[in-house]
Amino acid sequence: MDIAVEPEIYCPIIDEKGNYIDKCPALIKYGIKCPCGTREDWIYNTKNKFKNHISGIKHKKWIEQLNNNKLNFYENNIKLKETVKNQREIIARMEKEIISLKSINSYIESKIFKVENNQEEYDLLDIN
């Protein structure tokens, strides 16, 4: 089994006015992928190639779109956090239910085993 190193996902920085702007990373060690959609699955291995990419028209339109939809991203982030919280609660409930069902299953299996092997159980407290 080989260990694969994934490239970084590019994320523009936010300036003092709260707008997204491009800044080329200082070091591109394992390559970088840009989520702008101009070149799906394209990995930029050098700083110059990435600088050329971020100076392109389609990438600049993507940055502009990010800046125009800041409020939507914030609303989506809040909704996604709520979804994650709800899913964690559902998972916790289901894990408890699984534990309960496993113990019930174990009890039923032991009863079936005793019936199949004709082992009778006696409650010594009921003997008079």
Give strand pairing partners of 14.
20
Show the tokens assigned to 63: 């940055």
Is this model's pTM higher than 0.85 or not?
Answer: no
Helix spans in the chain (H): 47-54, 57-68, 70-116
pLDDT at position 11 is: 92
41 assigned to some structural domain: yes
23 assigned to some structural domain: yes
70 assigned to some structural domain: yes
pLDDT at position 78 is: 93
| The total number of structural domains that make up the chain | 1
- Kindly indicate the confidence band of residue 107, based on its pLDDT and cuts at 50, 70 and 90: very high
Print the domain residue range for 70: 8-116
124 assigned to some structural domain: no
2 assigned to some structural domain: no
- Sign, CA dihedral 40-46-51-56, equals negative
Over residues 50-64, the mean pLDDT reads: 94
DSSP state at residue 43: E
128 assigned to some structural domain: no
pLDDT at position 27 is: 86
121 assigned to some structural domain: no
Over residues 22-49, the mean pLDDT reads: 89
Show the tokens assigned to 72: 């939507």
Over residues 88-105, the mean pLDDT reads: 98
Over residues 40-47, the mean pLDDT reads: 89
Closest CA to 24 of 48, 58, 6, 4: 48
98 assigned to some structural domain: yes
Residue 22: is its pLDDT beyond 80? yes
Over residues 5-18, the mean pLDDT reads: 91
Give strand pairing partners of 32.
8, 44
